[in-house]
A = this chain, B = another copy of it.
Amino acid sequence: MIAGWEDVRAEVLRRIRARLWAPGALIPGEEALAAEFGVARATVNRALRDLAEAGLLERRRKAGTRVALLPVRRATLEIPVIRQEVEARGQSHSFRLLAMRMAVPPLPVAGQLGWAPDAEKLYLETLHLADGKPYAHETRWLDPAHLPDPRPDFAAVSVNEWLVTHVAFATGDIAFAAEAADARSAEVLGVAQGAALFVTERTTFTTETAITFVRLIHAPGYRMVTMV
């Protein structure tokens, strides 16, 4: 018996799986399905929306709903402040500011952020610890134009947390990769050079200008997990 939207979703899934509705095929409209299942149209809508979000259906406002040719699953990642991430593991977070100086960023960084190639920006290097053990090595380029005068004390509050709570950003991108530990990360994280490390790179922008480029080099064993 079909009672709630989960039942509608299960039945639609069954038809897709059994190829009663083939990949690429147009499926009946919401009203027709609501009549067939004896439920409200909103119930059908909720179920189809869920399957569309999961990538199994493709919905076009005027052209109707089709079974996806190749379903694309989507996963949502939460990107918390590092302190929160460590505390969520039941560990205590601390950090050490290892370096802070004005310097000219490498060309690829300046290029990606739209900075003049010879302009000095603020370079910050921070070690994050979980229960006193190295958790992530953070290297960051930051446009000091986004900082108040006098500058925040980044030895007292991590630049990661200060930015998240003080500088709202409009857009950005994030990349994940595996890298062999270079000499500096190996030293800071206390691992062998060449060890396989999980690296997160982020760039963030206001609607007009770049704020920061940050690399987080995680200690060995780091896993990023989410639901699909």
Where the two chains meet, the residues of A that have a C-beta atom closer than 8 Å to any C-beta of B are 10, 13, 16-17, 23, 55-56, 70-81, 84, 161, 164-168, 170-180, 194-199, 202, 204, 207, 218, 220-228
**A76 CB contacts on chain B under 8 angstroms:** 74-77
- A84's nearest neighbour on chain B, judged by CB, is B70
Q: Are A227 and B172 also in contact (CB < 8 A) when A196-B179, A198-B177 are?
A: yes
Choice from B79, B178, B228 contacting A228 with Cβ under 8 Å = B79
B17–A224 contact, CB under 8 A?
A: no
Given A84-B70, A165-B71, A228:B17 Cβ within 8 A: no
Q: A13-B170, A56-B168, A177-B178 are in contact. List 10 more A-B contacts (CB 8 A).
A: A17-B167, A70-B161, A72-B78, A75-B76, A76-B77, A77-B77, A173-B226, A177-B221, A177-B222, A177-B223
* Contact (Cβ within 8 A) B72 A79: yes
Number of copies: 2
Assembly CA distance A114 to B199 (angstroms): 32
A86 CB → nearest B CB, Å: 13
- Whether B195 pairs with A180 at a CB distance below 8 angstroms is yes
Taking a contact as CB atoms under 8 Å apart, the answer to whether A179 and B178 are in contact is: yes
Give CA–CA (A207, B9) in the complex, Å: 12
CB nearest neighbor in B for A53: B76
- Provide the bound-state CA to CA distance between A165 and B72, in Å: 10
- Closest CB-CB distance, A76 to chain B, in whole Å? 5
The complex places the Cα of A175 from the Cα of B225 at a distance, in Å, of 4
Q: Chain B residues with Cβ under 8 A from A221's Cβ?
A: 177
A202 surroundings in chain B (CB, below 8 A): 228
A198 touches B225 (CB 8 A): no
